[in-house]
Chain A
Amino acid sequence: MTAAIAAPIGIIVSSDSHIQYWCQAYGPHEIAVPPSPQDYAFGQFVQVALPGPAAEAGARLIGVIYDTVLVNPAFGSLGPRLSTSDEQRAVFSPDYLTERATLLKILALGTLDAASNHVRHGVPDLALELGALVAPLADAEVRAFHVFADEGPPGGDQPYLHMGYLPQMISERSGLLQQAALHVLERLRRLLPEHQRMLGVVQRNLAWKLSVETAG
């Protein structure tokens, strides 16, 4: 794993498909500085190092958190342990705590090569590895992932705003993915005020589809 990814929020534990992964967020005692719930909020961008030599070069998969599931093995089993407090449990039965988990669903949006500043939106070539570290994306990186120039003609060398993953996100059946798209748009509007108008058009368009047309 590369050092470029700082303050991870969790690790990849499973996947549903080539682009949909499960990440388990670190619990309170698993690492020195556990992540705060803000770090894995709904619609948050995350990055995961890609496997193999690409990783050394700084290539990362960029994804977005679009669902959160809390896992509690004790749920439904009405055993005596329920009466003990968490503090007592931490002392007498430390293993038990780790069985409770926060699982995050992540959708792959594209790749970002930190070294060459090369960005690609869409389905990445490589899949992630189990155990790969998941870290949040800083504002500057979010910007770098969205505003860049196409390679050569016809796009020219002027950087412009890209959201090439949006159709994929919207067309997925999961209602949460579509909601996540709205969150992403909202977030980008705050982050990229110069693209406020254009994002507004797309956001209103999507909001209309999700609210008015769905209800109508």
Chain B
Amino acid sequence: MLQAVGITKGPGETPHEYTFISQDEAQILKTGEYVWYELHHGQNQEPRRVLGRITERHAVQQYPDTFLAEPSVPPDEIAALIGYDRSASDLFELRVDIMGYYDEQLGAFINPWIPPPSGRAIYLADDALLATVLSKRKQESIGSAHIGDLLTRGPGAVPIVIDVKELVSTHLAIIASTGAGKSYLAGVLIEELMRAYNRAAVLIIDPHGEYGTLDELPNHDAFTERAANGMAIYRPTTRVFKHDQVKVRLSTLTLADLRYLLPEMTDKQHHLLSRGFRRMLDKRKGNPHWTAQDLLDAIKESASAGGEGERDDSGTIGALEWKIEQRLLDNEMVFSPSHHLELRELCKPGQCTVLQINEIDERDQQVIVATTLRRLYNARMETDRGKVSAGDEKHLPYPVFILLEEAHHFAPAGDDAISTRVLKTVLAEGRKFGMGVGLISQRPGKLNADVLSQCQTQCIMRIVNELDQHTIATAVESVGHELLRNLPALSKGQVIIAGSAVNTPVLCRVRQRITRHGGESHDAPAQWQTYFAGESVADRLRADAITVRNDTGPRLYR
């Protein structure tokens, strides 16, 4: 039997709001909770349930301050003393944002454009209703990602399942202060993408080396799909490339990349570099794989072939050569004349690839990201347009999803990083070619605003900094301001999901990871304690003693 929780009072400030009154004895009408009323339109039509979200709650009747004067005397008792029934003392006015009634055919909420009349019964939306209308997908169906459950309900009561198709075509941003659980949430998302019902091709750019634990994926039964006879039909693979395996082949660098990589160039040097670069490419038409030496030679040649004025530029050329040697020739850890990771190695359905680019210089990291994204983008575009066929290096016949940690490094606000431009292209055009990006950042204020606003699904977690809250409010229109007011109050692992991958903004409790989380916070006091624990003390004394002996000769200090 349905039981009403309140009665509508009247319209709110906007046409999409109404207020209702409730005693809320059971204390269930929290802000963020969902309620509905029945809309009767047309005589022969079924009444519709118009869903709304509570955005504000305040007491209509409050005890006067003087009743609260004596801490040892509960105001309820004073009210009872003067003949007021204490059980009925609370009365609340609740403000509700109308979402609309859910149209299954459209898969969207339809706003009735008129607030309910006064006197309508208001009901609390039950778990089953919410489970069907909040999420775009059914749990464990193809293209679904089960992120967690609705925060205002009990654990597991209302699963929040987001739409992977939207994620890959219109991109995702995960924004929160440090330690709020961004990487953890990203891990959950990756897990979902690797389940048998998604089998995604995922590439993770991991500047902190914290996604290595995803190599547990293949060994977890949750990710394996088995036939009736127990044979594994699907099992995801994980490939982790350490920083010394992540290479940029020189020939994938553009002139702009080179300019970005070489520090503090004069106009003259820029000129020489571009002439040399073009000359080199012209000369090597058939074989595009050039080396740093090829570039150096080409610069020298073009300089000497140049007019009178350029002959006595030896100083300038020398400095340019030195920069190129420094940056490219002596940096074989990152730049290689012949090798890089093949795209098909990098991205493959059912494979999760982690590029651990920690311990690499920040500019080099940006170039790695820029070249990788550009290669993927070109490959996807050319494959999609039928310009390349199977066997070609650029043949990539499936969509890919790229997760970019510390996105503010790769698309910083203000200054123009080489990766920003590529990222903007991918975000703007990626949808046509099946290339989705997930950005993670702890400083929305430091992230390029265009880049942030291109992400149509937003996962926003706890943010304390007011500037960052402001950035979010302006960049993310889909989340109402009332929802964003909750940002500083969120706890670890709680997230507001909004945008195209959900039917309506939801407050979600992120589910538990199946694999381990690689970015655990250090427990400093515990680690200091173990420093003094039993065996390790003896070990260390021995080690210290040896050090001392080595330093000072035969004497042994204890």
Instruction: Give CA–CA (A37, B210) in the complex, Å.
Output: 91
Chain B proximity of A45: nearest CB distance (Å)? 17
B523 at the interface (CB under 8 A from A): no
Neighbouring B residues of A121 by C-beta, 8 Å? 83
Shortest Cβ gap from A160 to chain B (Å): 6
Distance in Å: Cβ of B422 to nearest Cβ of chain A: 68
Which B residues lie within 8 Å of A197 (CB)?
70, 72-73
Check A154/B87 contact, CB under 8 A, given A162-B81, A164-B82, A166-B82. Answer: yes
Given contacts A160-B77, A198-B78, contact A205 B66 (CB under 8 A): yes
B67 CB within 8 Å of chain A: yes
Q: Please report the C-alpha to C-alpha distance between residue A165 and residue B69 in the assembled complex, in whole angstroms.
A: 22
CB-CB under 8 A from B72, the residues of chain A are 197
Q: A200's closest neighbor in chain B, by CB? A: B70
CA distance A200 to B67 in the complex (A): 11
Nearest opposing residue in chain B for A154, CB measure: B87
Take A154-B87, A197-B72, A197-B73 as given contacts and tell me if A205 and B67 are in contact as well, using a CB distance cutoff of 8 Å.
yes
Contact among B67, B80, B85, B87 with A201 in the assembled complex (CB-CB below 8 Å): B67
CA separation between A122 and B83, bound complex, in Å? 9
In-complex Cβ contact of A202 among B82, B83, B85, B87 (8 A): B82
Contacts of B73 in A (CB 8 A): 197-198, 201
Q: Mark A151-166, 1 if CB is under 8 A from B, else 0.
A: 0001100001111111
How far in angstroms is the closest Cβ of chain B from A215?
17
Over the window 127-157 of chain B, the binary record of Cβ atoms lying under 8 Å from chain A Cβ atoms (1 yes, 0 no) is 0000000000000000000000000000000
User: How many angstroms from the CA of A208 to the CA of B67 in the assembled complex?
Assistant: 13
Residues of chain B with a CB closer than 8 A to A166's CB: 81-83
**Range of interface residues on A (Cβ < 8 Å):** 20 to 34
In whole Å, how far is A146's beta carbon from the nearest beta carbon of chain B? 9
The chain B residue with its CB closest to the CB of A197 is B73
B66 to A163, Cβ gap below 8 A?
A: no
Contact with A along B292-309 (1 / 0, CB 8 A): 000000000000000000
Task: Say whether, besides A198-B78, A202-B78, A163 and B70 are in contact (CB < 8 Å).
Answer: no
Interface check A28, CB cutoff 8 A: no
Is A73 part of the contact surface with B, judged by Cβ < 8 Å? no
User: Does A167 sit within 8 A of B, measured CB to CB?
Assistant: yes
CB distance A198 to B66 under 8 Å? no
Contact, CB under 8 Å: B69 / A201: yes
Closest to B68 in A: A201
Q: In the complex the two chains form, is A208's CB within 8 Å of B77's CB?
A: no
Judge if A204 is at the interface, Cβ distance under 8 Å. yes
Q: Among residues 184 to 202 in chain A, which have CB atoms less than 8 Å away from a CB atom of chain B?
A: 197-198, 200-202
Contacting pair B83 A162 (CB below 8 A): yes
Complex CA gap A52/B87 in Å reads: 36
Q: How far does the alpha carbon of A160 sit from the alpha carbon of B72 in the complex, in Å?
A: 16
A121: nearest chain-B partner, CB-CB:
B83
Q: Are B81 and A161 in contact (CB under 8 A)?
A: yes
Within 8 A of B (CB), among A28-82: none
Interface size on B, residues (CB 8 A): 15
Most buried by A among B77, B83, B85, B87: B83
CA of A171 to CA of B66, assembled, Å: 17
Bound Cα distance from A26 to B80, whole angstroms: 38
How far, in angstroms, from A198 to B66 measured CA to CA in the complex?
A: 11
> Bound state CA distance, A155 and B84, in angstroms?
11
CA distance A200 to B66 in the complex (A): 11
Determine whether the beta carbon of B80 is less than 8 Å from that of A160.
Answer: yes
Q: How far is the CB of B75 from chain A (nearest CB, A)?
A: 9
> Which chain B residues (67-105) contact chain A, with CB distance < 8 Å?
67, 69-70, 72-73, 77-78, 80-83, 85, 87
B82 — which chain A residues lie within 8 A by C-beta? Answer: 163-164, 166-167, 202
State whether B83 touches A154 (Cβ < 8 A): no
Instruction: Given the known inter-chain contacts A198-B77, A201-B78, A202-B78, please indicate yes or no for A163 contacting B83, CB distance below 8 A.
Output: yes
> Smallest Cβ distance from A207 to chain B, in angstroms?
10
Residues of B within 8 A of A154 (CB): 85, 87
Query: Do A165 and B66 form a contact, CB below 8 Å, given A197-B72, A198-B73?
Result: no
Could you say which residues of chain A place their CB within 8 Å of the CB of B81?
Answer: 160-163, 166, 198, 202
On chain B, the residues within 8 Å of A155 by CB distance are: 80, 85
Min Cβ gap B82→A in Å is 5
Kindly state the separation between the CA atoms of A204 and B69 in the bound complex, as whole angstroms: 10
List chain A residues, Cβ under 8 A from B77.
160-161, 198
For B67, the chain A residues whose CB sits under 8 A away are 201, 205
Q: Report the bound CA distance from A167 to B84 in whole Å.
A: 10
Question: Please, how many angstroms separate the alpha-carbon atoms of A198 and B81 in the complex?
Answer: 9
A-side contacts of B64, CB under 8 Å: 205
Minimal beta-carbon separation of A54 from chain B (angstroms)? 22
Tell me, in angstroms, the Cα distance from A205 to B66 when the chains sit together. Answer: 6
Could you tell me which residues of chain B, from 235 to 277, have a CB within 8 Å of some CB in chain A?
Answer: none
| Minimum CB–CB distance for B555 against chain A, Å | 77
- Do A204 and B85 contact each other (CB < 8 Å), given the known contacts A160-B77, A160-B80, A198-B78? no
B80 contact set on A, CB distance < 8 A:
155, 160, 162
Cα distance A205–B87 in the bound complex, in angstroms: 23
Nearest neighbor of A209 in chain B, beta-carbon distance: B66
Chain A residue at minimum C-beta to C-beta distance from B66: A205
A116 to B: closest C-beta gap in Å: 20
Contacts of B70 in A (CB 8 A): 197-198, 200-201
Across the A-B interface, the 8 shortest Cβ-Cβ residue pairs = A164-B83, A205-B66, A154-B87, A166-B82, A198-B73, A201-B70, A163-B81, A197-B73
Known contacts A155-B80, A201-B66, A201-B69; 7 additional CB pairs below 8 A are A122-B83, A160-B77, A162-B80, A201-B70, A201-B73, A202-B82, A205-B66
